[in-house]
């Protein structure tokens, strides 16, 4: 990748914004938890021994893990990218990108 290439179209040329390693690891862990719960739900449904309340609990656990992963990702983005956007001169692009992402919440 040269100096003028971008990792994302909303980033100014030459600017490389990516999730910090610590946040990436925590989010990956939360998503692995969600995957484990999903696999457990699917396994119990395939065995035909799923109890509805147990399935509901597992679904809530998946939702909780996904929600937490989303919160961590948003906080990381706000702290690392949005808070420094003015210094980079890409405030408007960062705000538009974030608003677009939040439309799907």
Q: In this structure, what CATH number is given to the domain that contains residue 27?
A: 1.20.58.1000
Question: Is 15 within a domain?
Answer: no
Containing structural domain, residue 85: 21-102
Whether 83 is covered by a domain: the verdict is yes
- Assigned domain for 94 exists: yes
**Within a domain: 3:** no
Residue 68 lies in a domain: yes
Quote the DSSP letter at residue 80: I
Reported as a single tens digit per residue, the pLDDT across 51-100 is 999 999 999 999 999 999 999 998 998 888 887 888 888 888 888 888 88
Domain count, the chain: 1
User: Residues 27-51: pLDDT tens digits?
Assistant: 999 999 999 999 999 999 999 888 9
Distance, CA of 59 to CA of 57 (rounded, Å): 5
Residue 27 maps to a domain: yes
Residue-averaged pLDDT of the chain: 83
Percentage of residues in the chain having pLDDT higher than 70: 83
Structural contact between residues 50 and 44, judged by C-beta atoms closer than 8 angstroms = yes
pLDDT higher than threshold 80 for residue 4 = no
Q: What's the confidence (pLDDT) of residue 9?
A: 53
């Amino acid at each position: 990748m040269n100096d003028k290439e971008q990792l994302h179209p909303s980033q100014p040329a030459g600017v490389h914004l990516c999730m910090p390693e610590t946040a990436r690891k925590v989010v990956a862990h939360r998503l692995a938890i969600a995957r484990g719960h999903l696999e457990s739900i699917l396994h119990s449904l395939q065995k035909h021994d799923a109890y509805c309340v147990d399935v509901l609990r597992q679904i809530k656990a998946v939702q909780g893990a996904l929600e937490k992963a989303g919160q961590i990702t948003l906080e990381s983005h706000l702290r690392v990218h949005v808070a420094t956007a003015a210094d980079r001169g890409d405030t408007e692009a960062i705000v538009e990108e974030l608003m677009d992402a939040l439309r799907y919440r």
